[in-house]
Structure 1
Amino acid sequence: MTTQDAAPALSVANVSKTFGTTRVLTDVTLSVAPGEVAALIGENGSGKSTFIKILSGFHEGDRGGTVCMGGVDVSDALQDGPEKTGMGFIHQDLALVETMTIVENLRIGGFSTGFLGRIRWRQEAETVRGLLRRVGLDVDPNVRVGELSVTDRALVAIARGLAEIDRASHLSARLLVLDEPTAYLPVTGVERLFQAVAQLAAEGVSVLFVSHRLDEVLRYCTRAFVLRGGRLVADEPTAGRTERDLVTLMLGRAPEDLYPEYALSPAECSIEVTGLAGGLVESVDFDARAGEIIGLIGLPGSGYEEIPYLLSGCRPATSGSLRVGDQVMDVGRLEPGAAIRAGVALLPADRKSASGAQDLSVSDNITVATLGSVVRRGVISRREERDVVAAQIERFHIALPDPQHALSSLSGGNQQKALLAKWVISAPRVFFLHEPTQGVDVGAKREVFRHLTELARQGATLVISSVEYEDLAALCTRVHVMRRGRIIRTIERDDLSAHELAVAVHG
């Protein structure tokens, strides 16, 4: 029987989900063939996360929907895990225990035991070696996960997914769902990951790739499922398609220009960094004018990703000074509170644990940095706080049912806009941002860029650390390229392009 004649690996029919009176998914129907690598795309809030959570058993879908694997109805087994459904899930955070070995991460809960219940460690290591070979990873299974590179960790997570779905021996189909696994990976890491995916697809394992990175969708996937407003609006082959085609399907209209017009006005030097060192950063000097957007880029480990945290007091520096206007601060002694009082703001890349408080309300997240402005006689004025929050929600077009809902209830793009709003209220003089559009869809990206350029027009200095070549080339007046803890090259605006940055970074 050919692949075309075989039952779909995954077949979903009329899957819907309603929260209260709000329908977030409506009759989603799709199928993935054995060995196919397909993409699931859509704006933040389109229903992607809800759909994946139904497949994983985290949410229970509304009545009437069915989920089949290899022609077998597994709708009632979704909450029983990969061993029953043949579906494994690899998320952006990977969910690996870094203090445990690879063997322990992959085999915990399924160890083979012998006399008196003792674990057969040698046998377990051989089993794990076989799984690692399937994803193209040649490392000692007894190495702790925390000692691996970020790319190797992603491959270990995929190997763990394989170990889980291999236990579903009663099913003929296997499916891995990759939910934004490339968000933190360098370009070479993405290539390695998809080499492993191609090998697994050749074995007959199907893959559903969930991502905002449309270039990766076009390059590595044969088909794209597009969700919009909780409905499947397109099931299209990727061959011959462009990113603009996919964006049009996601938005339901032709996309506007992603990057706002921005021109730097002549201004005096606003910040000056001298002799910065700490962590991977060895010696860095740079300055920037008021109203300027500058970029920092490099390979992982080059130090570009640490500079925002060092200069905001969030990570300890060993030396260096930061001048903001007329105020000079010793970065080696700088604390976050002092940085904030000096007009320095930081938007970290990690929304879940560093940038926002996921369990607090959206309202609390927006006002936490400037709460003093709504305190009257030692008491928070809730009326003023509501007015401030309402104004920011409107200004940033944050889609949410209630400001008192937890930040975690929002889509990634709306979370990022809320966290950006938090710092914009304080009118920072200097704004450090690390991967400000990571995990954000194209519509929310444009909103973020619009607000960043507006801040620059108002006189703030923005410093963006990112690996997004096109974003930096379009937004920045100049970009500093780092290697081994030092700036090795500065590319000015007239010479900026995504290609030029890629060449400079990979050298």
Structure 2
Amino acid sequence: MTTTALELHSVSKTFGATKALQGVSMTVERGEVLALLGENGCGKSTLVKVVAGVYDPEPGARMLVDGREVSLPLEAGASRDLGLSFVHQDLGLARPLTVLENLLGGVAERSGSRLRIQWRSEARKARAMLRSYGVDVDPLAVINHLPPVEQALVAIARAAEELKQYRERTGATSSVLVLDEPTVFLPEEEVQFLFDLIRTIVASGASVVFISHDLPAVREIADRVTVLRDGKLAATARMSDVTDAEIVELIVGPAIAKLDAFGHGNVHGDGRPATAPPRVFDRSPGAGLHVTGLRGGQVRGLDLHVAPGEVVGLAGLLGSGAEEVPYLLFGAKQATGGELTLDGTTVPVARQQPATAVGMGLALIPADRRRDAIAPAVSVAENMMLLVVRRFAVRGWLRNRRLRGAADARAETLDVRPRRTDLPVGTLSGGNAQKVVVGKWLEIGPRVLLLHEPTQGVDIAARAEIYRVVRRATEDGMSVVWVSSDFDELATVCDRVVVVSGGVAGAEIPLRDITPEAITAGVYGASTSESTILPTVEQVAR
């Protein structure tokens, strides 16, 4: 019996002039978790899509599954019959359809000349299946109406079930689950659930390919690591043989210098104390953003002040209300009360609409960029200049060359890769697509930038680039509200952190005291003061 579940040899893929993969070889052992790492745009997702049969590799590529040679390119759906299951970065769900419709496969029965589906029966089966994986989601809910966390859990449960059915159908003990950025939408407790699920799958003899930018998660779950850089294989090693610093250097080269340039406040990006003096902000009553009595969803009367040029982080557990604040202020979610004052102009937040928010100078970068922030089929240039397209119109005619030139300059500033603004933005990696989103909003010169999980699924180099661009914009007086569940990130970028609990703003952590540990203690301390059943900081750390 072969010891390998999946082997790839000499896989190359070219898109126009871009060499996405160049002779990549990789082996996945039976019963292991292999971490596949690399910068956004290094070729990870392209490699996965070759294995899935989405992309055709260049001639000369070889693939072996369970020791058997498989003809490439794969036909559509052939990967499922080989015991390969995938959760792609975009989750691979049909978002306008229900959970049940996404889970159905081969359940239709022929009645005469028509196909019938026993909807009630299938809904019961789907509910039982989801619950068997610890996922409590209504099978009749439309995917687009679910929060990102539940969408991710549905996709993961579906993939795990495909593997289970494959093993039951064939009697095979070798199968492979590929998870592309599975922790992006998951809070801490769901990440632990995912790890338990992965361990269960591996214990059955299956293997997992785990793609992530979350090094602590990789360190906890992976047995080996394979790193891609610029479409080529950089290294493969056992996790026990490499340090985090060595992995980061394999991914992007010496990364400390990159992050040092963008670290500020109390710590640098690598956690070392910063030496830059704290900045002085104008905290007079008429300056910057003032929010009073904000209500809506889980938010129950939140007050907030952000001075011109200041970056204020909001930290809280899922359901605390912190994650809803940007959407309420922007009018993307209906508020029920509160006032927003920006540079002396006051408006009721309940009347706020996205169009009026943009008119006031507010910009929103949402967590789900594919659903809420980009038009995937439209070019990078058109996405980036969408809000200022009138600049390039003369007497009703759009000057495409001028638009492309402006987009090219912004893409150069943001280091968008590949440097081709004519490509559909949906073809870019997650990190580069996020740079386009940031660029789009910075084009209007916003007075307030509202950010929700702006670097999820973004590699360390792209993350540092986003930090740099946002920090530079604050030098012109732009106020920033930064909501993130990544407390290391908040410690790196924020001038002040406000803990949100029970829908209101609680303790503030000033610049001199901002550390990931201080934020964690503040968040869990605020939560445990209201409930005795929440986990302690020590429990969460374990």
1:370-409 mapped onto 2 (5 Å cutoff): 370-409=388-427
Q: Which amino acid aligns with 2:219?
A: L
Q: Does 1:167 align with 2:158?
A: no
1:82-481 mapped onto 2 (5 Å cutoff): 82-96=79-93, 105-106=102-103, 108-111=104-107, 119=118, 129=128, 133=132, 135=133, 137=134, 154-165=152-163, 166-167=165-166, 169-170=169-170, 172-239=173-240, 241-258=242-259, 260-262=262-264, 263-268=278-283, 269-481=287-499
Per-residue deviation, residues 213-241 of structure 1 (Å, max 9, x unmatched): 11211111111110011111110111253
1:422 partner SS: helix
2:415 partner SS: coil
In structure 2, the residue matched to 1:483 is 501
1:438 partner SS: coil
Contact 1:82 1:164 in 2 (8 A): no
| More off after superposition, 398-407 vs 9-18 | 398-407
Q: Does 1:62 align with 2:77?
A: no
Q: Which amino acid aligns with 1:205?
A: A
Contact 1:154 1:193 in 2 (8 A): no
Change (3 A) 1:442 1:7: same
User: What is the distance in 2 between the residues matched to 1:274 and 1:156?
Assistant: 37
User: What is the distance in 1 between the residues matched to 2:436 and 2:96?
Assistant: 33
2:416 partner SS: coil
1:239 partner SS: helix
Q: Which amino acid aligns with 2:50?
A: I
Change (3 A) 1:431 1:21: closer
1:158 partner SS: helix
Contact 2:126 2:139 in 1 (8 A): no
Q: CA deviation at 1:391?
A: 2.1
Contact 1:78 1:85 in 2 (8 A): no
In structure 2, the residue matched to 1:498 is 516
Q: Which amino acid aligns with 1:484?
A: G
Per-residue deviation, residues 186-226 of structure 1 (Å, max 9, x unmatched): 11110111011111111111000111111211111111110
1:256 partner SS: helix
TM-score relative to the length of structure 2: 0.85
User: What is the distance in 2 between the residues matched to 1:364 and 1:161?
Assistant: 35
State the superposition RMSD in angstroms.
Answer: 2.8
| More off after superposition, 387-396 vs 152-161 | 152-161
2:23 equivalent among 12, 23, 27: 27
Change (3 A) 1:486 1:32: same
Gaps of 5+ in 1: none
Per-residue deviation, residues 413-471 of structure 1 (Å, max 9, x unmatched): 22111221122222211111111111111111111001111111221111111111011
1:306 partner SS: helix
User: What is the distance in 2 between the residues matched to 1:429 and 1:8?
Assistant: 55
Q: CA deviation at 1:385?
A: 2.4
1:346 partner SS: strand
Change (3 A) 1:99 1:18: closer
Contact 2:499 2:522 in 1 (8 A): yes
User: What is the distance in 2 between the residues matched to 1:149 and 1:380?
Assistant: 37
User: What is the distance in 1 between the residues matched to 2:117 and 2:474?
Assistant: 63
User: What is the distance in 2 between the residues matched to 1:35 and 1:131?
Assistant: 24
2:259 partner SS: coil
Change (3 A) 1:324 1:64: same
| More off after superposition, 120-129 vs 330-339 | 120-129
Per-residue deviation, residues 450-498 of structure 1 (Å, max 9, x unmatched): 1111111221111111111011112111111112222232211122111
User: What is the distance in 2 between the residues matched to 1:390 and 1:10?
Assistant: 40
In structure 2, the residue matched to 1:46 is 42
Gaps of 5+ in 2: 265-277, 526-542
Contact 2:179 2:209 in 1 (8 A): yes
Per-residue deviation, residues 300-326 of structure 1 (Å, max 9, x unmatched): 222111111111122221111111102
Identity of aligned residues (%): 35
TM-score relative to the length of structure 1: 0.90
Q: Which amino acid aligns with 2:225?
A: A
Contact 1:131 1:163 in 2 (8 A): no
Q: Which amino acid aligns with 1:219?
A: E
Contact 2:148 2:368 in 1 (8 A): no
